[in-house]
Structure 1
């Protein structure tokens, strides 16, 4: 018997399991909470012995005998080391030893962050979801506020269900729906509807008693960020912890707040910017910056700036024009208080050990302060400061990103406004979303619309049901289906596609009946005639979960263009970008 549509019912093929860590290196987990597996250490030891015998050390090698440093990577927060390349914070031992001798570890980035920043290349790490959760759970006994960043494209985010156990009893919660810039306006009041949906999902997850506020933002384009800052400044002063799923945009929001009125003046050039990438789990440690105390005077000055925001400089106009090509909703994040003309004194917020410096260093600092009056941060500035912490992203199980390679991830994860691609299918038709997912239209009395909300770099292909198997066998790993890449050699390690049947009841030509969510790859909105019974079969990779949910954009089918002649497809129609003012927007 087919399964009836359930808005939050999981259709999981297989649960992912994590390998247990048998041994831990205590020096590494004291601050960052990560472990070195004994098997990796043993393997590295053997390689080191072989290299010593050959007397020919290759640049980029590891040294497991070198102790783990107490200096964090400025990009991801993991402790720097040269022990095991597969673990966060790794630097080749040649580079590590050189920086250590020159007292240059402070301010260095690990090999992984370097590759992400300069080569857009993700290095695979051997960390289980439990290890990420350990770091997040370290904030459980602490008091303060929590900003939960939710990826709107993944609602209902499974992180919501785990949050009550992670937070603890002594925190109030601000929920922020991110990536609203990627969602087109399918109805006049769609933002209010999205906000209500997000609020309802939070209530369903048991977060209502802790919930203090709900915001919709785009950390990338700046939309709604100024309003979020205003909301945070009105709350009681306390430490704030940013949590959320991996790849939800936490690093982007952290960097935006770092250069805003929420961060202490003179801090943005000294505090570390988080590494931004499309790969999950970028931020591995605890990055932080001091929060500006929102005095009445500062709040008043800030409100004056927001009311004058229509007067944009040429650079700001060019920035908004660039962002308008990537998102439906754009804004800007400004700064009311700024120190100009003088470089800030650098500091390490994680190790402000002023008493450990010798007299010569203290005299040098006094001399520097005289040259930079009112510029640097001193101990009094930070004595009673409250801090904003960026925690590691919680990895989602059953996510398609877990089975993709570093070359495939950028093709699957949407990085700009998603343009709906709508197709009209008759029964006995098949819809391929790349080579990752397949939706078969098995039974139904009339043609129905399938709107694909996914990255425009992910190909969509429609064929008849009888040809679907042959097309997949012939083109898997090839250009027609796009992802996975690498032909038959790649497909040897790619999970098989497993089918599941679902039953959908149509709600009319203008309203989607359900969304078939494809984890981080997006979703397919199904629109069918009123009362029509559809039987679908959904294929997904083994260990990757798909779900049925209430339509996030129920009227997305209205955003299709003219039908392409002799085709099942409609011309894509992108909604123009809209600039929102922080002092006028209502979300």
Structure 2
């Protein structure tokens, strides 16, 4: 037992948000909680580590998570169980929320793939098309799910159906819920708790103690458990290049309202300062439909002026990043070129996509490491 762990009444105190062992010494380590916050949490019965507190109250993702070795140990331990894996994906940031080679770690346990955040997709997008597309993306990553479910944990859309599917596939076994950060896993877990136990408030230490660094056990009526594992940070996620209120300007908060831009060749769209889209060559003016957070500032300019405009306006007109102090730390945008042979979506993972016509050359720009890809148009 580490000397840094907080002990109360002979038991280690765990964060009720992520299950980490609470400590007050190392700000950069898992489970850190300021002493004053710890004292308040002990009085209220809800102790959160600083990372979970910031995530809950400020939508801010702190760069503290399990190490690669810890994550490997966690996944390997799951492979030794006989259980159902519920794997939560953000359908608006699929690449950023995929865990490549998941089956190598979870063994032969069946995987139920859950696409969360359906509430942000326009109603014109058919669920069957999204489900088929998500299965294809999973298969390409080496994941063979037994089924694919689409939900919105935020609005409770089809969560009851998901619970029925979990019951169908778990066959009386434990359930492990896995996923990277910012996919809405915690929201889903809280919804599951409300439906499975009737408890409406957030997880409490007395009812659902974090048993180890890497899990929170939620008991089921038959003696088995739903095991909530911590969100794993993927540096490729757009969200990890943003802080505080910047996330709300990039991550869709409500159903997206598509916007059509009539662009001539050699015109550019900036998405705040976090991404860029260039219509490079084509035979004429075309309409390009943008699917992104409704409040994200989009600026149109000429391609020839785009680089100089970005350098001058980043942190000013083009936000996020929110100010000059953030500009210095913000990664450069990388260009990805595509030539379309059919109506397609150019996807900037974690931000949205632009539907483009056939027979054009376009480029998508995103911070280094964030995926930009092309797919057949969803709509």
Q: TM-score by structure 1 length?
A: 0.57
| 1:517 is aligned to 2:353 | no
Deviation at 1:166, TM superposition (A): 2.4
Deviation at 1:392, TM superposition (A): 1.5
Could you say which residue in structure 1 is the equivalent of 2:204? 272
Could you say which residue in structure 1 is the equivalent of 2:35? 93
Deviation at 1:234, TM superposition (A): 2.8
Distance 1:194 1:485 in 2: 33
Q: Structure 1 107/217 Cα, relative in aligned 2: closer, same or farther at 3 Å? A: same
CA contact (8 A) 1:435 1:472 kept: yes
- What RMSD, in angstroms, separates the aligned Cα atoms of the two structures? 2.7
- Of residues 106, 114, 123, the one that matches 1:176 is 114
The structure with more radius of gyration? 1
Residue deviations 1:63-96, cap 9 Å, x none? xx75454221122211111111222322223555
- Of residues 75, 95, 120, the one that matches 2:58 is 120
Deviation at 1:218, TM superposition (A): 0.9
Distance 1:205 1:248 in 2: 18
Q: Structure 1 128/412 Cα, relative in aligned 2: closer, same or farther at 3 Å? A: farther
Q: Structure 1 87/121 Cα, relative in aligned 2: closer, same or farther at 3 Å? A: farther
Q: Structure 1 406/128 Cα, relative in aligned 2: closer, same or farther at 3 Å? A: farther
Deviation at 1:526, TM superposition (A): 1.4
Deviation at 1:543, TM superposition (A): 3.4
| 1:423 is aligned to 2:249 | no
Deviation at 1:287, TM superposition (A): 1.9
Distance 1:497 1:123 in 2: 21
- Of residues 363, 371, 379, the one that matches 1:537 is 363
Deviation at 1:387, TM superposition (A): 0.1
Q: How do 1:177-192 residues align onto structure 2 when only pairs under 5 Å count?
A: 177-186=115-124, 190-192=126-128
- Of residues 172, 197, 212, the one that matches 1:237 is 172
Distance 1:501 1:79 in 2: 46
Residue deviations 1:524-563, cap 9 Å, x none? 22134xxx2x122333223333222233x2x2xxxxxxxx
Q: Structure 1 259/122 Cα, relative in aligned 2: closer, same or farther at 3 Å? A: same
List 4+ stretches of structure 1 deviating above 6 A.
none
Counterpart secondary structure, 1:194: helix
Could you say which residue in structure 2 is the equivalent of 1:353? none
CA contact (8 A) 2:190 2:203 kept: no
CA contact (8 A) 2:190 2:202 kept: no
Distance 2:194 2:104 in 1: 32
Deviation at 1:268, TM superposition (A): 5.5
Distance 1:66 1:197 in 2: 46
Q: How do 1:64-75 residues align onto structure 2 when only pairs under 5 Å count?
A: 66-69=4-7, 70-75=12-17
Deviation at 1:461, TM superposition (A): 0.9
Structure 1, unmatched stretches of 5+, are 1-26, 29-64, 274-283, 294-384, 508-512, 556-587
Q: Structure 1 110/522 Cα, relative in aligned 2: closer, same or farther at 3 Å? A: same
CA contact (8 A) 1:519 1:546 kept: yes
Q: How many residues align?
A: 366
Counterpart secondary structure, 2:100: helix
Could you say which residue in structure 2 is the equivalent of 1:202? 138
Query: More strand per residue: 1 or 2?
Result: 2
Distance 1:426 1:99 in 2: 58
Q: TM-score by structure 2 length?
A: 0.86
Counterpart secondary structure, 1:469: helix
Q: Structure 1 388/545 Cα, relative in aligned 2: closer, same or farther at 3 Å? A: same
Distance 2:269 2:256 in 1: 18
Counterpart secondary structure, 1:520: coil
CA contact (8 A) 1:135 1:392 kept: no
Deviation at 1:403, TM superposition (A): 2.3
Could you say which residue in structure 2 is the equivalent of 1:441? 279
Could you say which residue in structure 2 is the equivalent of 1:497? 333
Distance 2:128 2:124 in 1: 12
Counterpart secondary structure, 1:196: helix
Counterpart secondary structure, 1:471: helix
- Of residues 211, 223, 227, the one that matches 2:161 is 227
Could you say which residue in structure 2 is the equivalent of 1:81? 23
Could you say which residue in structure 2 is the equivalent of 1:217? 151
Q: Structure 1 127/439 Cα, relative in aligned 2: closer, same or farther at 3 Å? A: same
Structure 2, unmatched stretches of 5+, are 206-212
CA contact (8 A) 1:517 1:546 kept: yes
Counterpart secondary structure, 1:138: helix
Distance 1:157 1:67 in 2: 32
Could you say which residue in structure 2 is the equivalent of 1:289? 218
CA contact (8 A) 2:31 2:50 kept: yes
Q: Structure 1 151/473 Cα, relative in aligned 2: closer, same or farther at 3 Å? A: same
